Amino acid sequence: MSDYDLVIRNARIVTEDRAFDGAIGIKDGKIAALGTVEGDGAREIDAGGKFVLPGGIDSHVHVEQKSGMGVMCADDFHSGTVSAAFGGTTTIIPFAAQHRGMSLRQVVNDYHACATPKAVIDYAFHLIVTNPSPQALGQELPALIREGYTSFKIYMTYDAMKVSDYQMLDILALARRDGALVMVHAENHDMIAWLAHHLVEQGHVAPKFHAIAHARVAEAEATNRAVSLARLVDAPMLLVHMSEIEAIETVRQARAKGLKIFAETCPQYITLTADDLDKPGVEGAMWCCSPPPRDAAGQEAVWAGLSDGTFDVFSSDHAPYQFNAGGKIPKGDKTTFKEMANGLPGVELRLPLLFSEGVQTGRIDLHRFVQLSSTNHAKLYGLYPRKGTIAVGSDADLAIWDDKKDVTVRWADLHDNVGYSPYEGRRLTGWPVTVISRGRVVVENGTLNAEKGSGQFLKCDTPDASRPLGRATPEMTKMAGFGARPLF
């Protein structure tokens, strides 16, 4: 009888604040020994000196969700979680999305019915709240928070989704009282609607005009307003998918004032620009997301925020739509930018993109990579220390990274159901070659080994907004001008 189910030896173990060479002993899905591991494992893996990092947590993904315009995501809980696992992610937090007229309880039940038989890695749920009725605010939300759904997203734009400032205050006040976290899509609805109307009226319907209608100032204004609303009721808030220079500065200043404002950004804002939407016909729809990719200066502002600690989490905002009439372009080549489905796939490439573009270039170091990709997600959403770290007692969710492996992105090699990748042809260095979820080796040698339905639902604790999140150390901040110290 072996001492452990699995032992990983010869590993360079990196957490948000430690880096050491050693071994990891795993029993019953948990880390049971760390550092020097005496005894043997029923299975032993020699990591060959490669980095072993906490499995990624992607806290912003859309799976089996209908958009506000009624378009179904291309990924279900099987393809979505398989794709996540191949990209080094061992936990996802998708949305259980309320559309107006639905009860939140029914929505949650429906998403569980989708996820339970299909997920191959663990998952929690955020709620999307579009109808903060007295019933939702008075009964459903307080009960759901107690049951482990402790974060909810609200929209300041989209006709079918947006809530008013008054409703935002109601939701924020409830979140403050019950210890939940409100996630905000911050774009000024009327600015976008007005610009879009006039662009279309003048015949400017191509995908590139999406990036013009979703003007930078629309994100800057809404971010400033959202932060002011949070300030009024002293509630914590997370700004999702941030892309814009002034908005990022607003977060920095709010933090300096002591406000509990948290921030997320995504791969598209460090790797793409609005020029990617400027393609013949409707092809640019493949790069259409909201907020849109900006420009080189915007990318540098996002990198500075990732490096200096302004951003807490780096999520994919995986919003997968195929490039056809059932997805991105409902009217085929007659689709105007107003009608295109908004969103990009990214759950599989989130971590390889950040590793290659961030760690390998020295913009961030590996500790910061671990915070942004895993640990801070667990802390923010009430999953820490079960998830998000490598420690005795934590779930054995791990990724073994080969930092020398060169990969040229081909959608055909990915595992989502989208049919294209916005990153096709990009060369990346560094890849999660072996992925372990609760002690199960789910990805190895490019092969999946996980049963449908083997992922488990995770109840989130109420996030403690006063818990110190991993932020850039003073040393990291000093190098905000890039050029991280080598880890070893």
**Nearest residue (CB) to ligand DUC, 94 versus 305:** 94
**Nearest residue (CB) to ligand DUC, 163 versus 435:** 163
Q: Which one of ligand DUC, Zn ion, none is in contact with 350 (Cβ closer than 5 to 8 A by kind)?
A: none
By CB under 6 A, name the binding residues for ligand DUC.
Answer: 185, 240-241, 289-290, 317, 319, 342-343
Q: Which one of ligand DUC, Zn ion, none is in contact with 342 (Cβ closer than 5 to 8 A by kind)?
A: ligand DUC
Residue of this chain nearest to Zn ion (CB atom): 185
Q: Cβ 94 to Zn ion, closest distance in Å? A: 9
Q: Cβ 187 to Zn ion, closest distance in Å? A: 8
Per-residue b or e along 18-52, where b marks 16 or more CB atoms closer than 10 Å to that residue's CB: eeeebbbbbbebbbbbbeebeeebeeebebeebbb
Q: Cβ 189 to Zn ion, closest distance in Å? A: 12
By CB under 5 A, name the binding residues for Zn ion.
Answer: 185, 317
**Nearest residue (CB) to ligand DUC, 93 versus 400:** 93
Beta carbons of 125 and 435 less than 8 angstroms apart:
no
Question: DSSP character for 452?
Answer: T
Between β-strands 89-97 and 440-444, what pairing exists: parallel, antiparallel or unpaired? unpaired
Q: Cβ 319 to ligand DUC, closest distance in Å? A: 4
Q: Which one of ligand DUC, Zn ion, none is in contact with 145 (Cβ closer than 5 to 8 A by kind)?
A: none
The Cα 254–Cα 321 span in angstroms is: 35
**Nearest residue (CB) to ligand DUC, 66 versus 478:** 66
Q: Cβ 416 to ligand DUC, closest distance in Å? A: 15
Kindly write down the DSSP assignment for every residue of 114-168, as one continuous string. Answer: HHTTT-SSEE--EEE-S---HHIIIIIHHHHHHTT--EEEEESS-TTTB--HHHH
**Nearest residue (CB) to ligand DUC, 215 versus 399:** 215
First to last CA, the chain: 37
**Nearest residue (CB) to Zn ion, 162 versus 426:** 162
Q: Which one of ligand DUC, Zn ion, none is in contact with 27 (Cβ closer than 5 to 8 A by kind)?
A: none
Beta carbons of 472 and 312 less than 8 angstroms apart:
no
Q: Measuring CA to CA, which residue among 468, 480, 482, 401 is closest to residue 17? A: 468
Beta carbons of 316 and 58 less than 8 angstroms apart:
yes
Amino acid identity for residue 200 in this structure = V
Q: Cβ 62 to ligand DUC, closest distance in Å? A: 6
φ/ψ of 226, rounded to 5, equals: -60, -45
Q: Which one of Zn ion, ligand DUC, none is in contact with 465 (Cβ closer than 5 to 8 A by kind)?
A: none
Q: Cβ 465 to Zn ion, closest distance in Å? A: 21
**Nearest residue (CB) to Zn ion, 223 versus 437:** 223
Question: DSSP character for 358?
Answer: I
